Amino acid sequence: MAAPLAGVPAARDAALDLLKWLAFASMLLDHLRLVWPQRIWLYVPGRLAFPFFCLILAVNLARPRPEALRRAALARYCGWLLAFALLSEWPYRLLVDAPDSFNVLPTLALGLLLANGVRPCSPAERLLAIVALGVALTLGERLMFGVAGVLLPAAFLLALRRPRWGWLLPAGVTVVANYWPPIYVDALLGQRFALSVVFACFLAAPLGLLLLRLTPGFPVPPLRHWAYAFYPGHLLLLYGLREWLR
């Protein structure tokens, strides 16, 4: 069995589970904004969700395991993401008015395949990573967070190998993935909310990496496969809540 990558803690399950809970909480806060649009400030903590999920993908890829188990885990992981990407598209389009992209899960699935090609792997897996990048480039703006979002898990995987300054790469990629001209123009003009959004994007990567290296002082319940159902499930619940409030 290969030695752990530098910067990846050997016993990190509790910290990783905490990161998962925080990612889900951030996503829920962000989507509550679609029920109560006047709560625009929820957009700021919501910027943590996607980079946290990308970091979780990278940590799972970095975990040392026998080759056969690694490939089986990769296939299972990608299969869950693609299956729930299909299941989530209808709830996503119910909640988001006139969406200009798919839901977030196709971006994560492509990012997983691309990041896997960054680590030592077979030629077939390397080719699959190239195909994933080609699909990302072809779909372009149809992917939530764009091509930069697909690159983010790989950026985190590289950061895990260089724990001192490696965080700068995913921090920069997160800022690019969240690029939205009105917000970034307002940030350049010193608008407080816009600056908060940009800072949240930039700080998400170092914050997530720091959380992985801390030992929670309390028990953290693990997240099982039911967590995949949370994504389409909470979209439907929020849609129902919004319609009930109207």
The domains of the chain are located at 13-245
- Cα(89)–Cα(200) distance, integer angstroms: 27
What is the mean pLDDT of each successive set of 10 residues along the chain, which is 246 residues long?
40 83 98 95 97 97 86 92 97 94 98 95 94 96 96 97 90 96 93 97 97 90 90 97 93
pLDDT reported for residue 6: 42
pLDDT reported for residue 225: 84
pLDDT reported for residue 5: 42
Whether residue 143 contacts residue 101, with contact meaning beta carbons closer than 8 Å, is answered with: yes
Q: Which of 157, 155, 158, 152 is nearest to 136 (CA)?
A: 152
pLDDT reported for residue 21: 97
Q: Which of 134, 132, 116, 209 is nearest to 169 (CA)?
A: 209
The interaxial angle of helices 192-212 and 49-62, nearest 10 deg, is 20
pTM score above 0.75: yes
